[in-house]
Amino acid sequence: MAKKNLGNLEENNKNMTGVGALFNVPPKVDQTAKRKSEADLEEEEEITGYPLRMKKGWLKQLKIMSANTGTSVKDLILNAVADKYKL
């Protein structure tokens, strides 16, 4: 079956939030960047996950900033914490 471009399914439809992620093809990840980050992890301490709750408005603003800068929301938060507390 041929892949179809369904466009922006979420536009002007509050009930279809997140559907675009199911149908749109994600951009390809650069393998060299992935290998570089893996090497950095080996040199540094072990990384653990930590759930974070925040206001919806803050998350929305972070997602907009993330899209504009080309970095992930996680990286924005980690950089802000590191800058604030000089880690």
Instruction: Note the pTM of the prediction, 2 decimals.
Output: 0.47
If phi > 0 it is left, if psi is from -120 to 50 it is alpha, else beta; for residue 24 that is: beta
Report pLDDT for 27.
60
Report pLDDT for 86.
92
Q: What is the mean pLDDT of the chain?
A: 75
